[in-house]
Amino acid sequence: EFAREQGAKVPGRLVASAKSWLCHGGVDRRANILPWGAEGDIPKVSPVDASMRYLQHIREAWDHLMRRGKEEWQFDQQLIVLTVPASFDEVARELTIAAARDAGISRVILLEEPLAAFYAWLSNNEDSWQNQMSDGQLVLVCDVGGGTTDFSIVGIREGEKGLRFNRLAVGDHLMLGGDNMDLALGRYLEQKITGSAGKLDARRWHQLVYQCRKAKETLLGSADGQSKMDITVMGQAGSLIGGTLKGNLDQQEIQNIIFEGFFPEVSADETPETKRSGLTEFGLPYVADPAVTRHMAAFWRRFEPLMRQETGRDAVFPDFVLFNGGALTPQSLRWHLTMLMRNWFSPIAGSNWMPKELPNPRPELSVAIGAAYYGMVRLGEGVRVGSGSPRAYYVAVASQKESRKQESVCLVPRGTEEGFEIKLDQLNFEALANQPVAFQLFTSSTRVGDQLGDIVTLAEDETTVLPPIRTVLRFGKRDEARKIPVNLGVRLTEIGTLDLFCESKQTHHRWQLQFDVRQDADRSGDGQPQSVGETVDQQLIDAALALIESTFTTGDSSAHPEGLTKQLENALEMKKERWPTSLIRKMADKLLEKMDGRKLSAAHEARWLNLLGYCLRPGFGDPLDDWRMKQIWKLYFEELAFANNAQARTEWWTFWRRIAGGLTPGKQLQIFQKIQPSLQISASGKSKKKKSGPKLNPHEEQEIWMALANFERLPAADKQLLGNALLRKLSLTNPRDLWAISRFGARQPFYGTLDKLIPATEAAHWIEHLLKQKTGKPELLGNTLVQLARHTGDRSRDIPEDLRQRVATFLTDLPQGKTLVERLSQSQHQFGKEEQDWLFGESLPTGLVLSEKPE
């Protein structure tokens, strides 16, 4: 509590919600990004490091109090159970394990929090639960904590030794909890005392939210009749609203906001809102629909068929409900949810029916108590809840028969216990060796009955697509592509990852393929373009590949590289702007195969770089692009064959700009650091003498700036350095300079992560600088200002509201002003095709659609 209170006074030094950050796919979770939005001189830690420090503190506290000089009593000699949200994806689970190891804790078991809460109830009812429950009954566990909401269903079945428990279902990840309620109260009170939401700076906003949380906990749990709390936010000199702010919240206001906003009365068939973007505060991406009750109704409907099958009941409803989490501490709220469920299910359960609430007298400790009890269960004592994998896992396979339906093999049946390992040697698999391949995984939480090795056809609405693993299975010495017979083996680890391996039936070759198994990890949600496919006649493709082959083959003097692009357009019977992703990646592979052909002449090298960059842009979007990028990186160390040719040097930087999205942070930084001296910039802002070597021509230097501007994975400090250097030499009549500035200072990345964005204060300085400049072509500034001033809903990224309004006023008088103002004000805006092309600097390949970015 001291940390919360002190953190509210110095929010720039407060790290909160570290657990929620572990499952935030929009940032690099191993990078030092917390406190989110803190100024550059404040030391930062990664979400993994923050989690490690919590665990390290617990370990050191235990050893201080409990070890008493005995090695066997020290913390790392105990059986440690760590609890995580049930909806934690497997990446977050692996990061949790990593944090534990970093804290010096090696013996770790993960347990889902709703299940831990149920174990806590079991610990108090171990001897009597069989008298309270009967075969076929169902328990709904509703866990609404500070940062996440989890739903689980536990079934009671008759076994050989009497009644037993089985965990039947787990809900999807919902970043929704008490933190959201505190933010909602904060926005309500901010508007109440300042006249509008969004006016407070980050420091005072943290203060306000902290005090709203205290008011919520005090007034909703008040036993002394207190009905109102005064709230004071200390002033800040020089601020727009510089004085101390005072307001108050009463019990009825809080109850109305929480009940109506987060637990509204909804029908059993309502569906959560998904179209609009969720709240983004403190950098975290909360769910679009804050109504817990709507999510609960959708969760129950989703698993109704499964529960009928598992229980044999025609009418399925929760016979028992267990509430857990600090947000559900108020009795009035639990009663409200109980009555809502009565309205949902009484038509099938009977007019007098009501779910029985399982008592949870200490919700703040129930997860810890349940985890301790589970440790005893692991040692052979107590009552165990069957909690095998709530999902089945599948791998896609190609069939020898012609079929439009995708077939998949069941690798892990639903309900499989951890530690499961087997080799699928009853099926005849063939693997493609010595060429890039992708193994595609799927998971389903609703399909039942599929057994290990079953070949099935999966429906889209019952599965989630998982990230594929892309690799090359090396076999033999000649490296020629071939098919080899293999066995497929699988192991479900204790931390939820799926280990997959191929084993040759002919030799001792064995290839280990470890998947990061992430539910809801479909690449459609990561902001990267997806290939949606377009078919081109194979004869036309063969003709195009033959042209590339002949142009870059040693000794073929009849091929002239300058006209290759036009020849390809003629051969393919379409302009290059219409070439689909599937086609240009085939052309890229042929160009990579003919890499040595670029050394025939300076013209060959320039054309090879230009065409390869065009065919690989934007560096991602095809399953095998990761493999292609590894091949491309060899080119960087080889450098140009004709380094003194101006055209080749310019095309070199155009190439790296086009494929930048496929380069890792380390590779982007390496390229920048090597070219930095030639740009005459330094961290101090003073000019530096150029290194000896070819002088940069204007076209080359322009392409270097544009390439670096597209390096979204560069550290924010380097982007800030580059942007300020470019501002000093900026030409307001040069659209390419303005484009580069917009990319260095963007509030919403095109493909990068949010932790690499420059501070909002710096973006605001750049905007002020641009608005003060006199230019005869103000329309050139429009898109640049939109990218620098775009509203995101995250106060750490957003510029001051009054400055954004000045930008909006400026944009209104420009051509397409209405469209630009709409882009400026739409929080979490999904880039349209026109804006995508502008951001990338040219059109994206046909067949690529940029998904909505995560926050």
How far apart are alpha carbons 380 and 363 in whole angstroms?
Answer: 26
Name the β-bridge partners of 356: 320
- pLDDT above 80 for 240: no
How far apart are alpha carbons 17 and 24 in whole angstroms?
Answer: 11
How far apart are alpha carbons 232 and 248 in whole angstroms?
Answer: 8
- pLDDT exceeding 70 applies to what percent of the chain? 86
How far apart are alpha carbons 263 and 285 in whole angstroms?
Answer: 20
- Residue 63 is given by DSSP the state I
- pLDDT above 60 for 151: yes
The H-assigned helical ranges of 679-831 are: 698-709, 716-728, 735-744, 760-772, 782-789, 801-812, 817-825
Going by pLDDT thresholds of 50, 70 and 90, the confidence category of residue 805 is very high
How far apart are alpha carbons 163 and 851 in whole angstroms?
Answer: 48
pLDDT at residue 842 in the model? 66
Q: How many other β-carbons are positioned within 10 Å of the β-carbon of residue 776?
A: 7
Residue length, the chain? Answer: 855
Residue from 425, 432, 428, 438 nearest 475 by CA: 432
pLDDT in tens, 616-664: 999 988 878 888 898 899 999 999 999 999 999 999 999 999 999 999 9
More confident position, 430 or 852? 430
Going by pLDDT thresholds of 50, 70 and 90, the confidence category of residue 108 is confident
Strands 80-84, 108-112: pairing is parallel
- Contacts with 813 (C-beta within 8 Å, 6 or more apart), sequence order: 778
Residue from 19, 34, 141 nearest 85 by CA: 19
Both tokens assigned to 429? 């698999």
Q: How many other β-carbons are positioned within 10 Å of the β-carbon of residue 717?
A: 13
**String of b and e for 393-416 (b: at least 16 CB within 10 Å)?**
bbbbbeeeeeeeeeebbbbbbbbb
- pLDDT above 70 for 39: no
What superfamily would CATH give domain 129-175+291-386?
Answer: ATPase, nucleotide binding domain (3.30.420.40)
pLDDT at residue 666 in the model? 93
- pLDDT above 90 for 36: no
DSSP codes, 425-447: EEEEEEEEESSEEEEPEEEESS-
pLDDT in tens, 343-357: 999 999 998 899 999
pLDDT at residue 119 in the model? 95
pLDDT at residue 237 in the model? 52
- Contacts with 206 (C-beta within 8 Å, 6 or more apart), sequence order: 7, 8, 11, 14
Helices (H) and strands (E) in the chain, counts: 27, 25
Integer Rg of the chain from CA: 30
Mean pLDDT of 19-46: 78
Going by pLDDT thresholds of 50, 70 and 90, the confidence category of residue 675 is very high
Going by pLDDT thresholds of 50, 70 and 90, the confidence category of residue 90 is low
3-state SS, residue 159: strand
pLDDT at residue 551 in the model? 93
Going by pLDDT thresholds of 50, 70 and 90, the confidence category of residue 582 is confident
| Cβ 180 vs Cβ 290: under 8 Å | yes
Going by pLDDT thresholds of 50, 70 and 90, the confidence category of residue 571 is very high
pLDDT at residue 668 in the model? 96
The vertex-845 CA angle with 839 and 851, nearest 5°, equals 60
Domain segments of the chain as ranges: 2-110, 129-175+291-386, 178-264, 392-521, 523-663, 715-855
pLDDT at residue 692 in the model? 44
Name the least confident of 9-13, 237-241, 493-497, 599-603. Answer: 237-241
- pLDDT above 50 for 528: no
Strands 469-472, 436-439: pairing is antiparallel
Decide yes or no: CATH 3.90.640.10 for domain 178-264.
yes
Average pLDDT of the chain to the nearest whole number: 83
- pLDDT above 90 for 38: no
pLDDT at residue 281 in the model? 55
Name the least confident of 42-51, 218-227, 267-276. Answer: 218-227
- Contacts with 520 (C-beta within 8 Å, 6 or more apart), sequence order: 89, 172, 173, 464
pLDDT at residue 400 in the model? 56
C-alpha distances out from residue 593 to 37, 608, 638, 658, Å: 45, 11, 16, 19
CA dihedral 616, 618, 621, 622 (to 10 degrees): 10
| Cβ 681 vs Cβ 688: under 8 Å | yes
pLDDT at residue 687 in the model? 52
Both tokens assigned to 296? 């609960």
CATH class name, domain 392-521:
mainly beta
Mean pLDDT of 485-502: 77
How far apart are alpha carbons 618 and 844 in whole angstroms?
Answer: 7
Residue from 163, 463, 120, 530 nearest 311 by CA: 163
